[in-house]
Structure 1
């Protein structure tokens, strides 16, 4: 009988000690995922290339090896004010600190030291792949007409593969997201300030109709095959994004002037209408580059790529949830 892709369970747990199996469980650490991909053995094979008195191939020796895993999770809060969302472990393994304001909100902010990691168990209908010391990158997709998602890609130390049945998973903590629509999502607000004292609020600024927002966290996580110290370090972070805006002629001309002047501005968005499940994304230093002309059902849209840079350091993006 064929094994089924849908018979998949993914568990993820933050590691207290890097690369040491944190032993995630189905009851406490199950991920609700979609859009799966896995490379169960990315190996740097080595040719033997021996000379023999006849033609023919030779074996390859399996060299340094690691595991790659990718999947999407829904971008929605925990459903309770100030509660950690079920996907928090994943952002922590992408170089973000988790800052909890009890009963109010949870913030995820980038860090440049003290990186955390995760153990990921991937149960594939009878087979378990273990990824240790997992670190990675992600993209945020808040596109009109679609569900909001975090698309994750992890590089992991090879923790082995074995025959194993998937555990019973507890997914009650995963809330149902709201589709990115005008009724559910705040506008993209340019030039606003971000109030951080209590619940997040975007104050002031201008907004234009848009097709939403996509953000690439741009985190580099190369596998380092060192003797006695294999690891997946975080070595760089370059956050980028993209938008498509419905601008008046005057607004397009003003935006072009900002592009030519290398001007930076803030950009923020709040999504969701249910208290405890909302999400806010705020970036204080955004530069628009590479303007394009786009067609949306015959209407003129103006597209821009975004360079999302730090202002004071470790502040280029803030993701706030559960408020």
Structure 2
């Protein structure tokens, strides 16, 4: 098989763990892909014997993991979800579509799952019941990405038939720079080198008597910011970081893109800057800030991802 001949199809499941049979219209553009096709808990079959050597082992709970990296971009059409919609929803996020935008936000339960078809040069592995967690990376001078770390039920790879590929409604990602990207950190237009954010879902594969499934059991959204250090009279980030007598939260809003249909906004209303260190960047002092994305007022979601 040839490494370069790969394709990924993803579709939300109507019933957990039942193949939703994604087709060519469910393809996503993938920048990087790493699949471990047969993971699981292994147990040795121990036997007393006169011979030295290894004991055989069994995989007592097989599953599959897939790290899927896509460009963070809109569909290209206002009000139409991006091609990776199913992955966002299988990471514990709800979707609300309107004529002006598509909004995703983490929810507290009733999470959806997806089926992933990983096609590789004439064979396909069908990963059912998949759930995961996304990591966002927005770094100056690079294309913004989301890496989906997915876990799903094991199905043995099989020979695949050709699939008819539909033209995707999906815009290309655009580079992160001063022209395309803006950010506000606690009310300050920080000169920012990078933002990273992990939704932080805890994802577990459970293989019990009469029950096998992947579940999201917890969530803790954290990340980091790397910004040019402003004069303390311009913005006092040390006051924002201090927590020895109570913690401070504030909004963080990143907007990327200028063209309708390919504008992305990642925002949180109650983000704590939890740590600060000095860094050098081209001879300029930078702050490396750890972030904790807390639920907003009245239990509002800790973050929103909006495509306009």
> Is 2:301 the partner of 1:315?
yes
> Is 2:224 the partner of 1:229?
no
Cα–Cα, structure 1 residues 246 and 54, in superposed 2: closer, same or farther, change >3 Å? closer
8 Å CA contact 2:27, 2:168 repeated in 1:
no
- d(CA) in 1 for partners of 2:142, 2:132: 24
> Is 2:24 the partner of 1:36?
no
Which residue is 1:272 aligned to? 257
Match of residue 229, structure 2, among 241, 247, 250: 247
1:127 Cα offset (Å): 2.1
RMSD: 1.5
Match of residue 185, structure 2, among 190, 195, 199: 190
Gaps of 5+ in 1: 192-204
- d(CA) in 2 for partners of 1:316, 1:171: 34
How many residue pairs get matched?
304
Which residue is 1:15 aligned to? 13
8 Å CA contact 1:32, 1:171 repeated in 2:
no
- d(CA) in 2 for partners of 1:54, 1:177: 59
- d(CA) in 2 for partners of 1:162, 1:109: 36
- d(CA) in 2 for partners of 1:251, 1:153: 41
Cα–Cα, structure 1 residues 54 and 190, in superposed 2: closer, same or farther, change >3 Å? closer
Gaps of 5+ in 2: none
TM-score, normalised via structure 1 length: 0.90
- d(CA) in 2 for partners of 1:10, 1:86: 11
- d(CA) in 2 for partners of 1:62, 1:86: 34
Superposition pairs for residues 87-236 of structure 1, below 5 Å? 87-101=84-98, 103-165=99-161, 167-186=163-182, 188-191=183-186, 205-236=187-218
Give the stretch that moved more between structures: 49-58 or 258-267: 49-58
Question: Secondary structure of the residue that 1:89 maps to in structure 2?
Answer: helix
1:51 Cα offset (Å): 1.2
- d(CA) in 2 for partners of 1:91, 1:143: 21
- d(CA) in 1 for partners of 2:254, 2:213: 35
8 Å CA contact 2:39, 2:63 repeated in 1:
yes
Query: Which whole-Å deviations, capped at 9, do the CAs of 1:211-253 have from their partners, x for residues lacking one?
Result: 1311111111110111221011000111111111112231588
1:284 Cα offset (Å): 0.7
8 Å CA contact 1:109, 1:314 repeated in 2:
no
